[in-house]
């Protein structure tokens, strides 16, 4: 299963992302590419012949790793969607196959020996908000088809499959190399909340206390923003995309939707009614964009200027447009929102808080810098 790009991340950045999260039209790059984050994020392709993009090798030994051989009362045990993973001791050599799990690992002080690239083509597949945690390390970047042989050559003591979209067959194959940690039961492949992921990885690496500190720090950033802007509570807000002629909104457990919820905003009723349990975005008819008419409308894009959004005929019918309540999140901030990690969320909040406050100040004539720069002003 592949993860799309940022906007739809690329909007649909996660068409196949979260759950395969439904597919988003160009968001997919085949990792050949969620997204991600970016606009139709590229969809990560997978393990060879597997849908998620992991290429199996015919020379892989039948049992490189046997979980039962290490089981003991002291083992770390993790129940998840594919069963149970047992660690004999906290992991140190970690391969991060999740499209965004490098972030919490780096924040915990664990530099993965291998990182799966989602999109962005950044050095070592690490985005700016996480770069300070990388130091001089140069992890192996796993892009395109993920080779099982390469994973095995990295000699990991843990493979993180949370948010990777790998199948049960791929999980079984990779488990011959090292224990594989998957998303908890009850979460979809790409829908595990950032705090849950951080705590799981903290426990798996013996950094549970540090994980709690990280979660508290990120939650504290949102709490501070809410205290500074009590008038945001209960206002409606939506993150929207427009890519390849398709317009829609991020919904449900998608990180762009939950970002707004962390700030006390709620989705407009029309958007809430479009949300399906396992979807992360909702497509809209080009003839009716009224579901986007919220107190706050954030356009998420993998481009710095968006003439296609500017030219949307029905956008001009939105009160959010005429009353200056649009905010623009370009490539870097779209990526931060799409990653939705313990590191990227505070980064996105710092970048967007002032513009959100200006958009929600009740004065239609207040310029919102990000919208002005993107050419979205009326």
| Cα distance between residue 71 and residue 333, in whole Å | 43
Task: Give the whole-number percent of the chain exceeding pLDDT 90.
Answer: 72
Q: Compute the average pLDDT of residues 112-123.
A: 96
pLDDT grade, residue 47 (50/70/90)?
very low
Polymer length in residues for the chain: 378
CATH 3.40.50.1010 fits 67-204, yes or no: no
* Tokens of residue 186, six digits: 């009850």
d(CA 268, CA 298): 13
Structure-token pair, residue 339: 């990653």
Q: What is the mean pLDDT of residues 245-255?
A: 93
Does residue 302 or residue 52 have the better pLDDT?
A: 302
Look at residues 115, 339, 110, 125 and name the one whose alpha carbon lies nearest to residue 211.
110
Calpha distance 35→141 (Å, rounded): 17
Residues of the chain with pLDDT > 70, as a percent, come to 79
The per-residue pLDDT for range 11-24, each reduced to its tens digit, is 433 333 333 333 22
| pLDDT, tens digit (0-9, with 9 covering 90-100), for 258-285 | 999 999 999 999 998 887 767 789 999 9
* 108 and 127 Cβ atoms separated by less than 8 Å: no
pLDDT score at 187: 86
Q: Report the pLDDT value the prediction gives residue 53, as an integer from 0 to 100.
A: 65
Query: Which conformational region is residue 180 in: left (phi greater than 0), alpha (psi within -120 to 50 degrees), or beta?
Result: beta
Q: What is the mean pLDDT of residues 24-36?
A: 30
Q: Any idea where the domains of the chain sit in the sequence? A: 67-204
The pLDDT mean for the chain works out to 84
């Amino acid at each position: 299963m592949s993860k799309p790009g940022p906007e739809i991340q690329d909007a649909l950045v996660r068409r196949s992302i979260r759950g395969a999260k439904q597919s988003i039209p160009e968001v997919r790059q085949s990792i050949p590419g969620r997204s991600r984050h970016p606009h139709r994020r590229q969809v990560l392709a997978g393990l060879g012949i597997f849908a998620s993009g992991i290429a199996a090798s015919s020379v892989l030994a039948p049992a490189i790793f046997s979980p039962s051989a290490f089981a003991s009362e002291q083992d770390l045990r993790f129940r998840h969607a594919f069963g149970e993973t047992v660690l004999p001791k906290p992991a140190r050599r970690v391969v991060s196959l999740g499209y965004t799990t490098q972030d919490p690992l780096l924040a915990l002080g664990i530099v993965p020996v291998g990182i799966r690239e989602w999109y962005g083509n950044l050095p070592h597949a690490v985005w700016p908000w996480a770069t300070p945690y990388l130091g001089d390390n140069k992890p192996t970047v796993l892009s395109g088809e993920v080779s099982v042989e390469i994973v095995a050559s990295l000699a990991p003591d843990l493979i993180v499959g949370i948010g990777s979209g790998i199948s049960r067959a791929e999980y079984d194959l990779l488990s011959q190399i090292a224990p594989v940690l998957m998303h908890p039961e009850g979460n979809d492949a790409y829908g595990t909340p950032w705090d849950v992921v951080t705590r799981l990885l903290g426990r798996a690496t013996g950094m549970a206390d540090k994980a709690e500190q990280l979660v508290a720090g990120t939650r504290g950033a949102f709490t501070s923003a809410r205290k500074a802007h009590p008038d945001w509570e209960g206002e409606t807000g939506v993150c929207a995309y427009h890519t390849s002629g398709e317009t829609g909104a991020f919904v449900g457990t998608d990180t762009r939707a939950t970002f707004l919820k962390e700030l006390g905003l709620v989705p407009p009723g029309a958007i809430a009614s479009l949300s399906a349990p396992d979807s992360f975005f909702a497509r809209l008819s080009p003839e009716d964009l009224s579901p986007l008419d919220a107190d706050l409308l954030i356009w998420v894009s993998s481009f710095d200027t968006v003439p296609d959004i500017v030219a949307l005929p029905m956008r001009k019918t939105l009160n959010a447009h005429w009353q200056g309540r649009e905010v623009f999140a370009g490539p870097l901030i779209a990526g931060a929102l799409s990653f939705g990690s313990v590191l990227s969320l505070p980064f996105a909040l710092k970048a967007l808080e002032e513009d959100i406050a200006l958009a929600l100040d009740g004065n239609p004539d207040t310029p919102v810098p990000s919208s002005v720069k993107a050419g979205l002003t009326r």
